[in-house]
Amino acid sequence: MNFIKTSRVALMALARNKMRSFLTALGIIIGVGAVIAMVSIGQGAKADVEKRFDEMGSNLLFVRPGSMSFRGRHGGGGSYQTMKEADAQAILDNCDAVTYVSPNVNTRSQVIYQNKNWNSSIYGVGHSYPIIRNWDIQDGQFFSEQQVKAGQKVCILGSEVYENLFEGAPAIGQVVRIKRIPFRVLGVMEAKGETGFMSRDDVIFIPFKTAMMRLLGVDSIQSIDVSAASLDSTAEAQAQIEEVLRIRHKIAPGAEDDFNVRNMSDIAESASESTRILTILLGGIASIYLLVGGIGIMNIMLVSVTERIREIGIRMSVGAKERDILLQFLTEAIVLSLLGGILGIFLGIGSAQLISRLSPMQTVVLPSSIALAFLFSGSVGVFFGFYPARKASKLDPIDALRYE
């Protein structure tokens, strides 16, 4: 008996009992649907993370002071106070793979406008910060290089701070007070949304020099944001920065750096690694449904074999070989799980869309996860269909014919 005939026999047998066939496939339908929906949540989270890093600019590098050790005691990262404004200037001047730098310091403080106040992060940054971070100004303008150099008391508000202090009223030209020092508002940043639990818009930007002198009273900076000329030149930029800083900080060859440089793509990679684990976890849980669905198929096929012993006897008496019976029942199981798989794919895509519509979670259904689910459901059919099919094929024709 060839493949087409076997499939026809199997399809006819399934069609003879439509309700049972559907119920049998239901386990696979739900299993495949769950796998696709769950994995789409994981993939959605991954795409979301990647998008956020992309927005920040993937040619971004961070330079931070390293950890200081004094008589065997290590401080935390950034505990050196050796990073100076001049280091940032030197990086910009001497590294040809670097296009922009921004020296950064930050602190937290209460911000007061008239009778309102708000506690916010104060970022002291350079004038190139919006370009480096790929962050546009919604209203007004960012401070200029001259304003930074002069240490002017000007500020740009993050959209959340603006909402809380001004409640939609015009802010440009108004004066807010940070630690009793008046700052003139130059502009409002575009809203960026949340990262995890943190709002990126709850922030105020002021020139880093002003922050160092007026708010912190320090002469060292906390970090430098660097923008490489392109995505491909980040590695080159990193090497150049390290070289410049080692010379400036007079670090002997072989000695430990008092700074470290990290690039955005490394950070993005580790972040998407964690969403990958999330995907595997969700997919793994959903696979259990698929397994249960497979056991369901085996169960019903076993019942079906017992119920159809007479039919098997009839088929054998007219010349069906063991192999024919085995293939028929195996094909029935495979057809059931593949049909279940196809319906499950639709169910999965549908639920993924429903999830992204009804909840803040983003979902992405990849063609590869559809292919995988389909392949997996097929193998479930083969695996769980084999035992009942073998049982059917091993029946003795005389006993089968006489079975009541």
Partner 1 sequence: MQNNVLIELNDIKKIYTVGESEVHALKGVSYSIRKGDMVAIMGPSGSGKSTMMNIIGCLDKPTAGRYILEGTEVSTFDKNQLARIRNKQIGFVFQTFNLLARTSALENTELPLLYSDVNAKTAKEMAMKSLESVGLKGRETHKTNQLSGGERQRVAIARALVNSPAVILADEPTGNLDTKTGDEIMKIFTQLNESEGITIILVTHDPEVAEFARRSIHIRDGLIERIEENGR
- Kindly indicate which of the ranges 152-160, 182-190, 215-223, 311-319 contains the residues binding partner 1, using the contact rule CB under 8 A: 311-319
Q: Does 3 bind partner 1 (CB under 8 A)?
A: no
C-alpha to C-alpha distance for 130 and 404, rounded to whole angstroms: 83
Can you tell me which of 138, 288, 310, 350 binds partner 1, judged by CB under 8 A? 310
C-alpha to C-alpha distance for 318 and 370, rounded to whole angstroms: 42
For 205-234, letters b (16+ CB in 10 Å) and e give bbbbbbbbebbbeeebbbbbbbbbbeeebb
Measured from the CB atom, is 24 or 128 closer to partner 1? 24
Q: Does 271 bind partner 1 (CB under 8 A)?
A: no
DSSP string across 46-68:
HHHHHHHHHHH-TTEEEEEE---
Q: Does 12 bind partner 1 (CB under 8 A)?
A: yes
**Pattern 322-351, partner 1, x by CB under 8 A:** xxx---------------------------
DSSP string across 228-290:
ESSGGGHHHHHHHHHHHHHHHTTPPTTSPPSEEEEEHHHHHHHHHHHHHHHHHHHHHHHHHHH
Which of positions 167-196 make contact with partner 1 (CB under 8 A)? Answer: none
154: enclosing H helix or E strand: strand 154-157
Q: Does 401 bind partner 1 (CB under 8 A)?
A: yes
Measured from the CB atom, is 16 or 149 closer to partner 1? 16
What number of CA atoms fall less than 13 Å from residue 28's CA on the CB side? 32
State the nearest-atom distance from the C-beta of 319 to partner 1, in Å.
Answer: 2
- Kindly indicate which of the ranges 19-27, 85-93, 135-143, 317-325 contains the residues binding partner 1, using the contact rule CB under 8 A: 317-325
Q: Does 307 bind partner 1 (CB under 8 A)?
A: no
Measured from the CB atom, is 258 or 311 closer to partner 1? 311
Can you tell me which of 51, 74, 262, 321 binds partner 1, judged by CB under 8 A? 321
State the nearest-atom distance from the C-beta of 339 to partner 1, in Å.
Answer: 20
DSSP 222: S
Q: Does 317 bind partner 1 (CB under 8 A)?
A: yes
Q: Does 5 bind partner 1 (CB under 8 A)?
A: yes
Measured from the CB atom, is 12 or 255 closer to partner 1? 12
Q: Does 306 bind partner 1 (CB under 8 A)?
A: no
155: enclosing H helix or E strand: strand 154-157
DSSP 142: P
Task: Say which residues have a Cβ less than 8 Å from residue 163's Cβ, sequence separation at least 6.
Answer: none
Three-class secondary structure of residue 365 per DSSP: coil
- Kindly indicate which of the ranges 149-157, 288-296, 331-339, 394-402 contains the residues binding partner 1, using the contact rule CB under 8 A: 394-402
State the nearest-atom distance from the C-beta of 386 to partner 1, in Å.
Answer: 19
DSSP 143: P
Q: Does 198 bind partner 1 (CB under 8 A)?
A: no
Q: Where on the chain is the footprint of partner 1 (CB under 8 A)?
A: 1, 5, 9, 12, 16, 310-311, 313-324, 397-398, 401
